[in-house]
Chain A
Amino acid sequence: MEEVKLHYDVNAYDFTCAGEASGKLKRSLKDLGFDASLVRNVAIAVYEAEINMVIHAEGGVIDATITPECITVVLDDKGPGIPDVELAMQEGYSTAPENVRSLGFGAGMGLPNIKKYTDEMSIDTEIGVGTTITLKIYNK
Chain B
Amino acid sequence: MDVKELVEKLDLRVLCGEDLGRKVSGCYCGDLLSWVMSRANEGDIWLTVMGNINSVGVAVLADVACIVLTENAALDSDALSRAKQNDVIILQTDKNSYQMAAAISKLI
Q: Which residues of A contact B (CB under 8 A)?
A: 15-16, 18-19, 22-23, 26, 36, 40, 43-44, 47-48, 51, 103-110, 113, 116-117
Contact = CB atoms under 8 A, between A and B. Distances in A.
Interface in B20-47: 31-35, 37-38, 42
A116 B60 CA distance: 19
A40 B78 CA distance: 24
A104 B62 contact: no
B103 interface: no
Interface in B50-106: 50, 52-55, 57-58, 60-63, 78, 86
A53 B32 CA distance: 18
Contacts of A43: 61
Contact of B34 (A15, A23, A36, A110): A110
Contacts of B61: 19, 22-23, 26, 40, 43-44, 47
A26 B58 CA distance: 12
Nearest to B41: A40
Given A19-B54, A40-B42, A104-B55, A109 B35 contact: yes
A75 to B, nearest CB: 16
Interface centre among A16, A26, A106, A108 (most CB of B within 10 A): A16
Interface residues of B, number: 21
A44 B57 contact: no
B24 to A, nearest CB: 17
Nearest to B55: A104
A113 B53 contact: no
A81 B58 CA distance: 26
Contacts of B86: 23
Interface centre among A104, A105, A106, A110 (most CB of B within 10 A): A104
Contacts of B42: 36, 40
Sorted nearest first, the 4 A-B pairs with minimum C-beta distance are: A19-B57, A109-B34, A107-B32, A104-B33
Given A22-B57, A36-B42, A44-B62, 18 more contacts: A16-B78, A22-B61, A40-B42, A40-B61, A40-B63, A47-B37, A47-B61, A48-B34, A103-B33, A103-B52, A103-B54, A104-B33, A104-B54, A107-B32, A107-B33, A107-B34, A108-B34, A113-B34
Nearest to B49: A104
